[in-house]
Each structure stands twice: as structure tokens, then as C-alpha cells.
Structure 1
Amino acid sequence: MSSPDPALFRTRPGNRRRLTPEGQAELDRLTVAAEESAWLSPLAYNLTISHSHRFVWYRVAKVATRTIRHHCETNGVALDVDHAMRVRYPLASYADYFTFAFVRDPLDRFVSAWHDKVVDHNYYDFDPATHARMQTVEEFARWTATHNLSAVPGTDQHLTLQSRMIDLNRVDFVGRLETFDRDFAEVCERIGAPAVPTAPKNQTAPGGRDRQVSDELRELVTQMYRRDYQVFGYSLEAD
């Protein structure tokens, strides 16, 4: 069985989260044979793919996703697979594509998710009394700690372990939000895109390094995201 043409996989013009019928049919065919052929990635990821610029971007929610997408849109970088959610992908077809992702200090990311999805919006559809309690970040952290943050699907993408959102065995470059300008400039050079934008757009709240953080919150986040701290080398200690 030959590798499918990578350009076969595109998202629908009217729905950037779903593959075209032709792409989905091919993915379904590969899924049936996956156990024996190993054609597909063992795990599913949130993917954005450009065939013209030959890259696969493992999207990590709350880590400059709007900034990167906006930069591509405004600089002529076609996103053929735009916002595919929780999909396995044919490994051989993208073996020569540049793969990248961006990560963020787990404490900062968690506070940002809480501020955006709880304080500013009731994204998780809490009842009024529960939503009122969740205005305290520690309360939200206790609720989050009851979930399996490595489960995909099963855990909201804004809270999932960053290390689970990236195919760590096949990623060429992992940038950091803390050094975004420098790291994204390198990505742009690798994919042949114009110069880097000046600042991430989706920093919705000051993070753990810029605000007073309770010992309880730091301990809860450390327990929940210990693998992220270990994999990406972020410090577990307060600055």
C-alpha cells in the first residue's frame, strides 16, 4: 500500500474543523488497516497543515494559536487542514513536512484558561452557584484536578496536558511563548513565511510569573501538569 497523497487531506471550505468527504473517507480506510499497517499516528491531535508550505502544526490551546493562524492568513500561507480536531494522521505522507508546536509555562497557561473560560465566559456551562465559586482560581483548579488531563478525547483542549497535544516522537521544533518572537521567527524561516508578528494575541490574563500565586494553586498545578514541567523543562519553583 502506497502512502496517500498528503494534499488529499483538507478541511471543508465551510467548516474548518472537519475534513472534506474525500479526506475523511481515506482516513477511515487507513483507520481500518491501522493496527496492522501502522499507517496512522497512534494518537489523535489537533492539527493545522499547509501543503503549499509543507508543515504540520500541532496546535496547543492557549498558546498563541490565534496569533499564528492570523499571521498565516494575512501572509498568504494556505491552511489546507485548518482546524482539525482530534485526528490521527498518516505518518508516511507527512514524513518530509516540517512539524512544530508552541508550549507555555503550565501555571501561566492554566491561569489564562481560567480567566478566559471561567471569569470572562461560562465556557464549561457551570450552574450559577458553581460558576460563582469558580471565580476563585483555586476552586477551578480543584475541579480540574478531578479530570484525566491526558485523555483525548475526554478532556477539554484548554486544560489538556501540552505534552499530550504534540506528537513528541515526530516534532521538529517546539517553541515557547516566553520567547515567542525569536522562536516563531525561526518557524517562519523554516516554512518560508514572512517576518514574525510582534506579540502573541491570546494572552488573556497575567500568568503565574507576573502575579501573586497561592501555595495551594502552585501545588495543584504542579501535580496536574508535572509531565509538562518535566518534558519541557519549566521550573517547578516560584521565581
Structure 2
Amino acid sequence: MSRPDEDLSPEVFRTRPGNRRRLTPAAESTLEGLSAAGEESGWLSPLAYNLTISHSHRFVWYRVAKVATRTIRHHCETHGVSLDVDHAMRVRYPLAAFADYFTFAFVRDPLDRFVSAWQDKVVNANYYDFDPATHERMQEVEEFARWTAAQDLSAVPGTDQHLTLQSRMIDLNRVDFVGRLETFDRDFAEVCDRVGAPAVPTAPQNQTAPGGRDRQVSDELRELVGQMYRRDYQVFGYPRPEP
């Protein structure tokens, strides 16, 4: 007898019109049924991920926040790549149903990513809803790093996606291709080639101002980020920052 997820059409999975973060009721019901039928069966991915899925181009993109997500999405929107699961958050997915889809993700140096998150979510906004006095203290990136170090950066859900370990946001056992922001043009062209999409250059969206990292890095920050993101440095081979 076949497994339920082997008979399942991946095209059941779509996000709602007008709400790109939530799956349609039919998709949610399908996942609930798989979970209830066999929590220990391995039909669903053991962990949840932030997913974007295209059925027309047959890919699953594990989105890693602060790593060209808007640029990739903008490229898809402007070049006719349908995003049937657009911006789903913390989703466990049926493994066999997507076995023949191309899976990819992008990562970046953890120190660059951390400074980008701080600049975007703390300096330019108050995304974490700090009280005024705390928000003033958080204008120092080292203070924000100390606060972040107290979080469980492997917890999904539980930790903000902009700070979560990149290695936790990707199904490392099933990903076909991991590109790097540092070589984005080359790596994204390879992704486009694999999924049959145009590989024309796309202007970066929501990019941190050039030179931001160089102005902010201190020995304390290097040490804190090196400790917090030790697993990312190990998994993706970036040189760990030395104080």
C-alpha cells in the first residue's frame, strides 16, 4: 500500500489570495491529516521551514531572511515565475510529494547578515518593539548582539526569522543547491537555469547600505557573532571572525 504523501499532488499546496503567508484551507487540512495519520511515520518533514514553492517551475525555495529574499521574489514576479506557495511561514511539508522538485537556498556570511538585520530592524525601525530606553541602548550593535545571544537561535518557531541560524532555516538533508550572497549573480543564474527561468540581472531590493558592516565591526561583536553562529560558520564554511 502506498504512503499518503506519495499519492499526494504537490499542487494542493498554495497560499491564500491576499494572504501570502498562510496556506489555503485545503492545504492546511491536508497537512493536518498527514500529521494526525502518522506523526512518527516520516511523511512530513520533521522540522518546519519558511517556504516558497512554484509548481510551474517545480522548485522549493527555503527562504533565509536577510539573504536576498526580496530580490529573488522580485525577479520571479517580473519574469513570469508563479509562486503558488508565496511566503509560507514555519511549514512542515510532505517529503515524497516534492521529491522531484529542485530545492535551493541562499546564505551569507553570518556577521554581514547580523549587521544587516540590526541596521534594518533596530536602527531604521523598532521591529522588536523595545521600550524607548532599551531601543536607545540597542543603537549600539554590541548591545543588540548581547540581547540576541540570550535567545535560542535554533528555535523555529520561537526566534525571529531575521536572527535564526541559517542552517536551521534550510532542510540540509534535502537541499539540492545552496548559493551565497557573496557570489549571488553567478549562483542565482545557476538556479534560474535549473528551474527554466530567465537569468537576467536583477537590481538588489532592500539592500543594506554599502560599508555598513565595516563601520560597525568591533572585536566584541566579532566574538559574539562567532559564538552565536558557530554552527553556520561550520556548516557553510565561512571563516569565523577573529577578535
Whether 1:172 aligns to 2:176 is yes
Identity level (%): 84
Question: Aligned equivalents of 2:215 and 2:235: distance in 1?
Answer: 24
Paired residues, what number?
Answer: 239
Partner residue in 2 for 1:106: 110
Counterpart among 47, 52, 57 of residue 53 in structure 1:
57
- Alignment RMSD (CA, Å): 1.5
Question: Aligned equivalents of 1:90 and 1:160: distance in 2?
Answer: 23
Counterpart among 55, 63, 69 of residue 65 in structure 1:
69
The 3-state SS of whatever aligns with 2:105 is strand
Look up the equivalent residue of 1:168 and give its one-letter code. Answer: L
Look up the equivalent residue of 1:35 and give its one-letter code. Answer: E
Whether 1:158 aligns to 2:144 is no
Whether 1:14 aligns to 2:18 is yes
Look up the equivalent residue of 2:71 and give its one-letter code. Answer: T
Counterpart among 148, 154, 162 of residue 152 in structure 2:
148
Partner residue in 1 for 2:121: 117
Whether 1:38 aligns to 2:42 is yes
Distance 1:59 1:158, change over 3 A: same
Cα distance per residue 1:179-238 (max 9 Å; x no partner): 000000000000000024245323224467644511000000000000000000000145
Question: Aligned equivalents of 2:157 and 2:58: distance in 1?
Answer: 27
5+ residue gaps, structure 1: none
Look up the equivalent residue of 2:57 and give its one-letter code. Answer: H
Question: Aligned equivalents of 2:230 and 2:211: distance in 1?
Answer: 17
TM-score, L = length of structure 1:
0.96
* Paired residues for 1:142-221 under 5 Å: 142-206=146-210, 210-211=214-215, 213-221=217-225
Partner residue in 2 for 1:129: 133
Distance 1:71 1:136, change over 3 A: same
Asked if the contact 1:119–1:135 (Cα under 8 Å) also holds between the matched residues in 2, the reply is yes
Partner residue in 1 for 2:238: 234
Which deviates more from structure 2 when the two are superposed, residues 102-111 or residues 201-210?
201-210
- What's the CA shift for 1:37? 2.3
* Paired residues for 1:75-114 under 5 Å: 75-114=79-118
TM-score, L = length of structure 2:
0.95
The 3-state SS of whatever aligns with 1:18 is strand
Question: Aligned equivalents of 1:198 and 1:76: distance in 2?
Answer: 14
Look up the equivalent residue of 2:112 and give its one-letter code. Answer: D
The 3-state SS of whatever aligns with 2:39 is helix
Question: Aligned equivalents of 1:34 and 1:197: distance in 2?
Answer: 44
The 3-state SS of whatever aligns with 2:70 is helix
- What's the CA shift for 1:38? 1.1
Whether 1:138 aligns to 2:146 is no
Counterpart among 12, 22, 28 of residue 24 in structure 1:
28
Asked if the contact 2:226–2:241 (Cα under 8 Å) also holds between the matched residues in 1, the reply is no
